[in-house]
Structure 1
Amino acid sequence: MSGHSKWHNIQGRKNAQDAKRGKIFQKISRELFMAARTGGSDPNNNPSLRLVMDKARAANMPKDNIKRALDKAEGGDTTQYDEVQYEGYGPAGIGVLVEALTDNKNRTSSDVRVAVTRHGGTMASAGAVSYMFDRKGYFVIEREGLDVDEDQMLEAVMEAGADDLQSSDDQFEIFTDPKDFSTVRDSLEEQGFHFSTAELTMVPQNTVAIPADKVETFQNMIDALEDNDDVQNVYTSAEWPDEPDED
């Protein structure tokens, strides 16, 4: 178990702001639809659906939105979405992974390529970047209002069977093997903890500092990718500069 890491900064950049809530809900709805159509609409019998529903709850997605997505799947909608992964590089060889759910792979491939290359990046072949990342279960517990110190949280996390705890002033971040995601989630929930994030994610094995003169351009690349309706997740190996302190 370790202390605070740069992943907090990286993850903070990935999390959408309130202005993007509608788009987030739209993307999660697509995941709910696919999971329910593939394995049924009962999360107790469909682990993939339960995972997406955890993600929906962590994002404070309204129950009506969730119900509409499940009703759409149960209603026999035949829309077919394909899971596609794109790989590329930003400045200084920063790895970029893009996960998409699309009903038109040609359109999505073109849009992703434009977003990357227009902002100074390059596309890469399959496997060229993904090996730099590890799939992990990831949970965030906000510290505000939580009467638990780091030692107590470490004990809870170890009891749950997680791999790593990283802490900052405002939150605890917990990482686990993907196969242990459900077990760790259930154990921590039984201990009374609530998550602001609960998902499977890709964690870079090493990070690369963004050159100072490329930070804005790289952020614009990420924004352009995340703004695409077909793009579900964007992961990078970027080490973002610290936010300046406010007076």
Structure 2
Amino acid sequence: MSGHSKWHNIQAKKSKVDAKRGKIFTKIGKELMVAAKTGGSNPETNNKLRDVIAKAKASNMPQDTITRAIKKAAGELEGVTYEEITYEGYGPNGVAVIVEALTDNKNRTAGNVRYAFSKHGGNMGSSGCVGFMFQKKGEIIIEKTDSIDEDELMMMALDAGAEDFSAEEEVYVVTTTSEDFGTVRENLESNGIEFLEAEVKLVADTTTALDMETSVKFQKMLDALEDDDDVQDVWHNAEFPEEFEG
């Protein structure tokens, strides 16, 4: 099966940023709180919460941290109420960018996101200006090990309802529709498969190629956005040169 997620390069950059900031648990904790507050604190009856818990576990988030975030949402512990907001716009060279945020202050977040766009050669657009260029896809990343047979894993994933399966240098990538993500993930989990990453993402239909100079500029914009405490995820359609280090 085909696939070109280039997960390793993307993840290497993302992990470097997350390690430097040390904020990944905080961001997932906010996702847990919103999911629990919206659909209830029982993962058995809340599919979204179940998926975020899987994402948290794949990121090695401690169980007590997961439980604490859910209890906050359920009102058992004092916590802040967060609102989900999506911003859309363009980076340098017309790169399509979608920013997903969880915030307790919309004015602060909007100002920070707009500043990050404008400072680095982009501009924030209106809702829907680039959203049509992306599709929601589930993505499950599995580390290659001697104990996992590639063909067996591929058949297991496809039989469970996966759309695609690809083998990269260090990982396997299972792609699903957003609707089938939970079913496929739970099926693989029940068969003892562990994940490096498991979440629903926004995947661009087409990409915009960048030269080295523009790549450096755009990476600074990404760093500024991802460094904001309110920003959960940044999705884009930029295609960096292979030699670009980030």
TM-score, scaled to structure 1: 0.90
Gaps of 5+ in 1: none
Question: What does 1:1-150 correspond to in 2, within 5 Å?
Answer: 1-3=1-3, 5-8=4-7, 11-12=10-11, 15-17=14-16, 19-20=19-20, 22-74=22-74, 75=76, 77=78, 79-149=80-150
Structure 1 residue runs of 4 or more that deviate by more than 4 Å after TM superposition: none
Q: Whole-Å Cα distance in 1 between the matches of residues 94 and 52 of structure 2?
A: 32
CA 90–212 in structure 1, closer or farther in 2 if over 3 Å, else same: same
Contact 2:207–2:239, Cα closer than 8 Å, also in 1 = yes
SS in structure 2 at match of 1:201? strand
SS in structure 1 at match of 2:222? helix
Number of equivalenced pairs: 243
Q: Whole-Å Cα distance in 2 between the matches of residues 79 and 44 of structure 1?
A: 24
Shift of 1:21: 6.6
CA 83–244 in structure 1, closer or farther in 2 if over 3 Å, else same: closer
Shift of 1:73: 2.1
* Paired-residue identity, %: 47
Residue 190 (structure 2) aligns with:
190
Residue 231 (structure 2) aligns with:
231
Q: Whole-Å Cα distance in 1 between the matches of residues 79 and 61 of structure 2?
A: 24
Contact 2:141–2:196, Cα closer than 8 Å, also in 1 = yes
Shift of 1:226: 0.7
Contact 2:178–2:200, Cα closer than 8 Å, also in 1 = yes
Q: Whole-Å Cα distance in 2 between the matches of residues 229 and 180 of structure 1?
A: 30
Q: Whole-Å Cα distance in 2 between the matches of residues 212 and 98 of structure 1?
A: 23
SS in structure 1 at match of 2:22? helix
CA 97–77 in structure 1, closer or farther in 2 if over 3 Å, else same: same
CA 50–225 in structure 1, closer or farther in 2 if over 3 Å, else same: same
SS in structure 1 at match of 2:169? coil
Contact 2:212–2:244, Cα closer than 8 Å, also in 1 = no
Gaps of 5+ in 2: none
2:178 is the counterpart of 1:178: yes
Indicate the RMSD between aligned Cα atoms, in angstroms.
2.1
Give CA deviations for 1:2-28 in whole Å, capped at 9, x if unaligned.
14x154367436633352473111111
Q: After superposing the two structures, state which structure 1 stretch, 130-139 or 208-217, moved more.
A: 208-217
